[in-house]
């Protein structure tokens, strides 16, 4: 990059806000999806909205594309740098600006982590509901970009439900305010449009979010089944009984083995484990939990275990959240998918996945949010064996097609990013995609914000896809794949 | 055919060719929008016919007012132009109730009441209680984003819609979102069209996430003598672990304020909640009340042709302040007022003014005062003279250029509801 430009950027963000050394730039070459890597020209780390505006104005003037980045835990390559572009990290903008407990509002800068929000309000009995399992390190800005979910979004909804107002720097460097701190604001729901736009509309510099009160009582039941289909049947029966659990999760044999090896959560030794969490008033949770057990038993559960203490409940979840990373213990390489299906299609789709898995001669571990039909099949393989990686990628794609055919989606919470952009036409018509492009160009007419992502048809060159490798922060034990 | 026909007559013939001659007819006085008389009413059979009509009208420079049940046609600014009313009455089917998945796909012209009736067969419901469910259609509900008392627990209509199908002025029918409860593929165009007052496209179909119908419901009310006490109780309940599904404040003067709470669930749990409620509320004794209180919002609109109805949005802790501001301004302008505020901070306000000038004075004053609180005031329904005196939406700050850009991308010819939405979009 031109040295005058670098000096100009330095005059705004200072030395602390500028990364130019090649070895340091490599830290930013990928996000949680390590399949794709591009070393950025420059990384900028502004410390304020003003600095953000000033650097984006330069990018606009020079038509330099830029990619916003939180902690880089995304799993679809959304924060993958683009050729001849800069990365703008929000890590130095990490202050909680205001906590308003009576109104259940918190105002944060974009680099504040998801967990930090809950930590700041848990003393008052509140929490921030979206709970992606990278929550210890992932930023609220990243959550906004990806519309992150988590295990508890079946009942509580995803990020978009909790974002009320955004301060955003648009591609021309102008600062706009979307939404407000109040529930309603006249005009188009631009907060709704912005959340989940994967960094292609602008960069958030301030976020007003909603927190909620922790339930009086939370109970988690583990039910052991002889197959995932049986466990899936229990999920449908629980729903049919009129209950609305806070979370319902299934782990299959392979995933359980892996989780057990990593966390020693003392799960029952079974083919499929269903976790059912109820929350609400103590009286209601106790009465309903009395019904959940028999429903599970009637669907084939042969062991029921209720977490007896809060510590035990946390251990159960720790094992569940560790399942992704733990699969690394039972397979040298693996691919993670994020398809969604209507809940009732669960037994059929699981059967199909088994069949495809057998045909490909590859093992597939299943960990999924059964309540909302969000599957996370993990395709296990060994890159050292010739042809396996290609077979694994083909299998992962077939699973996604299966989800779309069942009336579902190619991604429930990981986003499209770089990874799944070629799949968009499987799910959307040309007219659907064209409508999305119109919205994109209304925000970013010169295609400067995270260009080449989300949509097919761009001739972006990346290095040959390579297999999954643990991200540095995973190796450091700071995050897990979910 | 008459050789001297005007171009407009050609347009009517062309539109007839799209929808069939039975499905386009002359508009009458009942079809007026803000005293503007459209020429025709058109009722296409499906999304594709709607898209064709939109495309045709875009190229022929005809303006369209989409209409569902017609219950909220007076909302928004006066349209700059209105050639046709586009009725969704022929798109009225519940396409699918996937009760095992707790989702339902419905055409835009289906009323909320008939949807709920169908869902009830499997013990489910759309957890929303908008105005006039018997006549309000799915399309109208989405276009206006009208939220009722259940929003506090179940989220707004934007949170209950999983996907939509929309006919666009360029002649395409697009879908956004999907049928599954979790989906982040592509932009969330669903959110964009919800609350857009039919200015970007015509919603033709929607998929909702559903909730079980609760086994039992109970309502408790208390009467208080000042607004700050009411606010304190609302905040105490919000800060509690009670599982309420409704919490509202009703007042028509500063000294008699009712706070209503609703619980839903299994019977044993409701009794437990009621006992806890009185502990949380401290001194204010709650007594069992009628579920009719949850219709207070809708009742405000009864016989309100000469009144001003507006929606004020503030923070929950500002509800008391809002009431005080309304009562003091109304009183000094000799205007009577009623407030029904949800604990979300969204309040419905009715002003009964004998003179238009007094109403405008109160509205301007309130709007300025709310502006200082970062709140907003939107007029929903009012006599025509009030609309001539002020913009019903108020000022949209720095995001207006972006909204205009978006309008331009989706409806460049300004075919749909020209002038009705914010900034005269």
Query: From the candidates A196, A237, A409, A444, which should be mutated to test the interface with B, based on the most B CB atoms within 10 A?
Result: A409
Phi, psi for residue B240 in degrees, rounded to 5: -90, 175
- CA dist., res. B185 & res. A337, Å (int): 13
Chain B residues within an 8 Å CB radius of A125: 239, 241
Walk me through the domains of chain B, giving residue ranges and CATH numbers: 7-89 (3.30.43.10), 94-212 (3.30.465.10), 216-294 (3.30.70.260), 301-389 (3.30.70.600)
CB-based contacts of A359, cutoff 8 Å, min separation 6: none
Number of A/B CB contacts below 8 angstroms equals: 270
A338 located within any domain: yes
Check whether residue A310 and residue A334 sit in a common domain: yes
- CA dist., res. A77 & res. A79, Å (int): 5
Structure tokens at B321: 């302040």
Touching check for A189 and chain B: CB below 8 Å?
A: yes
Chain B residues within an 8 Å CB radius of A344: 98, 100-101
- CA dist., res. A114 & res. B252, Å (int): 43
- Alpha helices, DSSP H only, in A182-309? 190-194, 228-240, 253-263, 282-298
Q: How many CA atoms lie within 13 A of A184 on its CB side?
A: 30
**A60 three-state secondary structure:** helix
Query: Closest chain B residue to A432 measured between Cα atoms?
Result: B174
Check whether residue A105 and residue A195 sit in a common domain: yes
Instruction: Provide the strand spans (E) within A32-104.
Output: 42-44, 66-69, 86-89, 96-100
Query: Closest chain B residue to A200 measured between Cα atoms?
Result: B187
Check whether residue A171 and residue A279 sit in a common domain: no
A29 located within any domain: no
Query: Closest chain A residue to B151 measured between Cα atoms?
Result: A183
Structure tokens at A406: 């069942």
Give the closest-approach CA distance of A18 to chain B in angstroms: 30
Query: Closest chain B residue to A192 measured between Cα atoms?
Result: B191
pLDDT tens, residue by residue, B310-357:
999 999 999 999 999 999 999 999 899 999 999 999 999 999 988 989
A243 located within any domain: yes
CATH value at residue A117: 3.30.465.10
Structure tokens at B415: 């075919």
**A74 three-state secondary structure:** coil
Predicted local distance difference test score (pLDDT) of residue A460: 39
pLDDT tens, residue by residue, B363-383:
999 999 999 988 999 999 999
Check whether residue A166 and residue A237 sit in a common domain: no
Instruction: Give the closest of B98, B179, B196 to A188, CB-based.
Output: B196
Query: From the candidates B151, B180, B378, which should be mutated to test the interface with A, based on the most A CB atoms within 10 A?
Result: B180
Structure tokens at A217: 């009582």
Contact predicate A467/A35, CB 8 Å: yes
A296 located within any domain: yes
Q: What angle do CA B219, B220, B223 make, to 5 degrees?
A: 140
Predicted local distance difference test score (pLDDT) of residue A466: 41
Predicted local distance difference test score (pLDDT) of residue A465: 41
Domain residues for the domain of A325 are 217-405
Place of tokens 């996937």: B98
Touching check for A342 and chain B: CB below 8 Å?
A: yes
Task: Label residue B372 exposed, middle or buried (CB < 10 Å: 0-12, 13-18, 19+).
Answer: exposed
Q: How many CA atoms lie within 13 A of B74 on its CB side?
A: 20
Query: Closest chain B residue to A404 measured between Cα atoms?
Result: B178
Instruction: Give the closest of B186, B191, B211 to A428, CB-based.
Output: B186
Given an 8 Å threshold on Cβ–Cβ distance, is A183 in contact with B265? no
Check whether residue A167 and residue A231 sit in a common domain: no
- CA dist., res. A236 & res. B86, Å (int): 41
Instruction: Give the closest of A184, A284, A427 to B266, CB-based.
Output: A284
A9 located within any domain: no
Q: How many CA atoms lie within 13 A of A368 on its CB side?
A: 33
Query: Closest chain A residue to B407 measured between Cα atoms?
Result: A442
Chain A residues within an 8 Å CB radius of B397: 177
- CA dist., res. A204 & res. A145, Å (int): 9
Touching check for A23 and chain B: CB below 8 Å?
A: no
Predicted local distance difference test score (pLDDT) of residue A470: 54
- The number of domains in chain A is 2
Given an 8 Å threshold on Cβ–Cβ distance, is A158 in contact with B211? no
Q: Chain B neighbours among A 291-310 (CB < 8 Å)? A: none
| Helix H or strand E segment including B104 | strand B103-107
- CA dist., res. A325 & res. A327, Å (int): 5
Give the closest-approach CA distance of A20 to chain B in angstroms: 33
Given an 8 Å threshold on Cβ–Cβ distance, is A184 in contact with B265? no
Decide which of B103 and A264 is more confident.
B103
Chain A residues within an 8 Å CB radius of B410: 435, 438
Given an 8 Å threshold on Cβ–Cβ distance, is B182 in contact with A183? no
Check whether residue A379 and residue A293 sit in a common domain: yes
Given an 8 Å threshold on Cβ–Cβ distance, is B235 in contact with A104? no
Instruction: Give the closest of A103, A408, A436 to B187, CB-based.
Output: A436
Given an 8 Å threshold on Cβ–Cβ distance, is B182 in contact with A374? yes
- Could you say which of A366, A387, A405 is where a domain stops? A405
Predicted local distance difference test score (pLDDT) of residue B6: 61
Given an 8 Å threshold on Cβ–Cβ distance, is A182 in contact with B315? yes
Check whether residue A264 and residue A375 sit in a common domain: yes
Check whether residue A253 and residue A225 sit in a common domain: yes
pLDDT at B42 over 80: yes
- Alpha helices, DSSP H only, in A14-133? 22-25, 49-62, 114-121
C-alpha pair distances (Å), A201 with each of A30, A145, A438, B206, B388: 20, 9, 12, 26, 36
Structure tokens at A470: 């643990």
Check whether residue A327 and residue A356 sit in a common domain: yes
Given an 8 Å threshold on Cβ–Cβ distance, is B180 in contact with A439? no
Contact predicate A368/A376, CB 8 Å: yes
Give the closest-approach CA distance of B56 to chain A in angstroms: 18
Check whether residue A375 and residue A252 sit in a common domain: yes
A308 located within any domain: yes
Decide which of B397 and A25 is more confident.
A25
Check whether residue A267 and residue A130 sit in a common domain: no
Check whether residue A237 and residue A369 sit in a common domain: yes
CATH value at residue A383: 3.40.462.10
Q: What angle do CA A391, A392, A394 make, to 5 degrees?
A: 65
Q: Chain B neighbours among A 105-144 (CB < 8 Å)? A: 105, 125
For every one of its 482 residues, what pLDDT tens digit does chain A have, with 9 covering 90 and above?
Answer: 899 999 999 999 999 999 999 999 999 999 988 878 999 999 999 999 999 999 999 999 999 999 999 999 999 999 999 999 999 999 999 999 999 999 999 999 999 999 999 999 999 999 999 998 888 899 999 999 999 998 888 889 999 999 999 999 999 999 999 999 999 999 999 999 999 999 999 999 999 999 999 999 999 999 999 999 899 999 989 988 888 999 999 999 999 988 888 888 788 999 999 999 999 999 999 999 999 999 999 999 999 999 989 888 988 888 887 787 788 888 988 888 899 999 889 889 988 999 999 999 999 999 888 988 999 999 999 989 999 989 998 999 999 999 999 999 999 999 999 999 999 999 999 999 999 999 999 999 999 999 999 999 744 333 334 444 555 455 444 444 44
- Could you say which of A370, A405, A440 is where a domain stops? A405
According to DSSP, the residues that pair with A53 across neighbouring strands are none
A48 located within any domain: no
Query: From the candidates B144, B167, B169, B184, which should be mutated to test the interface with A, based on the most A CB atoms within 10 A?
Result: B184
Give the closest-approach CA distance of A400 to chain B in angstroms: 12
- Could you say which of A182, A213, A244 is where a domain stops? A213
Contact predicate A51/A16, CB 8 Å: no
- Residue B112: which of B134, B142, B88 has the closest Cα? B134
Predicted local distance difference test score (pLDDT) of residue A265: 78
Q: Which long-range contacts (CB under 8 A, 24 or more apart) does B405-409 make?
A: B405/A442, B405/A443, B406/A188, B406/A438, B406/A439, B406/A442, B406/B192, B406/B200, B407/B199, B407/B200, B408/A442, B409/A438, B409/A439, B409/A441, B409/A442
- CA dist., res. B415 & res. B228, Å (int): 47
Query: Closest chain A residue to B425 measured between Cα atoms?
Result: A187
A386 located within any domain: yes
Chain A residues within an 8 Å CB radius of B189: 193, 435-436, 439
Q: Dump the DSSP string for A76-114.
A: SSTT---TT-EEEE-TT---EEEEETTTTEEEE-TT-BH
Touching check for A101 and chain B: CB below 8 Å?
A: yes
According to DSSP, the residues that pair with A105 across neighbouring strands are A100, A210
Give the closest-approach CA distance of A414 to chain B in angstroms: 8
Touching check for A402 and chain B: CB below 8 Å?
A: no
Query: From the candidates A183, A344, A443, which should be mutated to test the interface with B, based on the most B CB atoms within 10 A?
Result: A183
Predicted local distance difference test score (pLDDT) of residue A469: 53
- CA dist., res. B408 & res. A441, Å (int): 11
Give the closest-approach CA distance of B4 to chain A in angstroms: 39
């Amino acid at each position: 990059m031109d040295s005058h430009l670098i000096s100009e950027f330095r005059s705004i963000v200072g030395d602390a806000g500028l990364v130019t050394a090649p070895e340091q730039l490599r830290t930013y070459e990928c996000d949680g999806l390590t399949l794709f890597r591009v070393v950025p020209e420059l990384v900028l780390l502004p410390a304020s909205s003003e600095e953000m505006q000033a650097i984006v104005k330069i990018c606009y003037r020079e038509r330099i594309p830029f990619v916003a980045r939180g902690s880089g835990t995304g799993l679809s390559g959304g924060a993958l740098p683009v050729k001849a572009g800069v990365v703008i990290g929000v890590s130095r903008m990490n202050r909680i600006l205001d906590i308003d407990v009576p109104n259940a509002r918190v105002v944060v800068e974009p680099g504040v982590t998801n967990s930090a929000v809950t930590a700041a309000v848990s003393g008052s009995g509140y929490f921030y509901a979206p709970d992606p399992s990278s929550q210890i390190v992932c930023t609220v800005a990243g959550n906004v970009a990806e519309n992150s979910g988590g295990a508890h979004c079946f009942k509580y909804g995803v990020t978009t439900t909790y974002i009320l107002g955004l301060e955003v720097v648009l591609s021309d460097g102008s600062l706009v305010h979307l939404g407000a701190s109040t529930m309603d604001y006249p005009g188009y729901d631009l907060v709704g449009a912005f959340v989940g736009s994967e960094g292609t509309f602008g960069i958030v510099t301030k976020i007003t979010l909603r927190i909620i009160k922790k339930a009086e009582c939370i109970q988690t039941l583990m039910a052991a089944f002889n197959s995932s289909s049986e466990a899936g049947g229990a999920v449908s029966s629980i729903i049919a009984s009129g209950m609305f659990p806070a979370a319902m999760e299934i782990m299959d044999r392979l995933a359980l083995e892996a989780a057990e090896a990593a966390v020693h959560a003392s799960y029952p030794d079974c083919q499929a484990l269903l976790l059912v969490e109820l929350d609400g008033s103590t009286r209601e949770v106790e009465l309903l939990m009395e019904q959940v057990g028999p429903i599970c038993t009637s669907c084939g559960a042969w062991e029921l275990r209720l977490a007896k203490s809060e510590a035990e409940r946390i251990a159960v979840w720790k094992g569940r959240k560790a399942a992704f990373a733990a699969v690394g213990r039972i397979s040298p390489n693996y691919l993670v998918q994020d398809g969604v299906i209507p809940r009732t299609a669960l037994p059929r789709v699981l059967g199909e996945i088994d069949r495809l898995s057998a045909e490909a001669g590859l093992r597939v571990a299943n960990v999924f949010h059964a309540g909302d039909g969000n599957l996370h099949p993990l395709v296990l393989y060994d890159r050292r064996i010739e042809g396996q990686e290609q077979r694994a990628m083909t299998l992962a794609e077939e699973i996604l097609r299966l989800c779309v055919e069942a009336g579902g989606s190619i991604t429930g919470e990981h986003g499209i990013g770089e990874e799944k952009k070629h799949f968009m036409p499987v799910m959307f018509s040309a007219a659907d995609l064209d409508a999305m492009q119109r919205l994109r160009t209304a925000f970013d007419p010169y295609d400067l914000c995270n260009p080449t992502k989300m949509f097919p048809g761009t001739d972006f060159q990346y290095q040959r896809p390579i297999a999954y490798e643990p991200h540095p922060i995973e190796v450091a034990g700071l995050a897990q794949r979910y | 055919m008459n050789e001297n026909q005007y171009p407009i007559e050609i347009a009517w013939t062309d539109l007839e060719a799209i929808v069939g001659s039975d499905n386009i007819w002359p508009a009458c006085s009942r079809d007026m929008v803000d005293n503007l008389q459209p020429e025709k009413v058109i009722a296409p059979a499906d999304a594709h016919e709607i898209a064709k009509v939109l495309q045709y009208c875009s190229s022929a420079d005809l303006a369209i007012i989409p209409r569902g049940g017609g219950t909220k046609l007076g909302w928004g600014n006066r349209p700059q132009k209105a050639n046709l009313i586009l009725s969704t009455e022929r798109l009225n089917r519940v396409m699918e109730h996937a009760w095992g998945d707790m989702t339902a796909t419905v055409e835009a012209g289906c009323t909320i009441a008939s949807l709920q009736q169908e869902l009830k067969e499997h013990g489910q419901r759309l957890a929303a209680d908008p105005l006039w469910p018997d006549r309000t259609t799915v399309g109208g509900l989405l276009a206006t984003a009208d939220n009722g008392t259940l929003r506090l627990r179940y989220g707004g209509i934007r949170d209950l819609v999983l996907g939509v199908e929309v006919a666009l002025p360029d002649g395409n029918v697009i879908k956004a979102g999907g049928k599954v409860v979790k989906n982040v593929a592509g932009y969330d165009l669903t959110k964009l069209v919800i609350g857009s007052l039919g200015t970007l496209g015509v919603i033709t179909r929607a998929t909702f996430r559903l909730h079980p119908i609760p086994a039992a419901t109970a309502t408790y009310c208390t009467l208080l003598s000042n607004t700050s006490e009411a606010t304190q109780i609302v905040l105490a309940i919000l800060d509690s672990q009670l599982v309420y599904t409704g919490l509202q404040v009703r007042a028509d003067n500063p000294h008699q304020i009712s706070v209503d709470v609703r619980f839903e669930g299994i019977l044993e749990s409701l009794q437990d909640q009621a006992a806890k409620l009185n502990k949380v509320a401290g001194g204010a004794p709650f007594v069992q009340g009628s579920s009719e209180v949850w219709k207070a919002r809708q009742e405000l609109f009864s016989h309100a042709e000469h009144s001003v109805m507006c929606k004020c949005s503030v923070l929950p802790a500002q509800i008391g302040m809002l009431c005080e501001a309304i009562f003091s301004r109304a009183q000094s302008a000799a205007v009577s007022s009623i407030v029904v505020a949800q604990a979300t901070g969204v309040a419905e306000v009715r002003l009964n003014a004998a003179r238009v000038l007094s109403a405008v004075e109160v509205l301007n004053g309130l709007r300025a005062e709310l502006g200082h609180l970062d709140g907003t005031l939107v007029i929903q329904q009012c006599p025509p003279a009030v609309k001539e005196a002020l913009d019903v939406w108020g000022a949209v700050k720095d995001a207006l250029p972006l909204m205009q850009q978006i309008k331009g991308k989706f409806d460049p010819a300004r075919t749909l509801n020209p002038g009705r939405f914010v900034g005269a979009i």
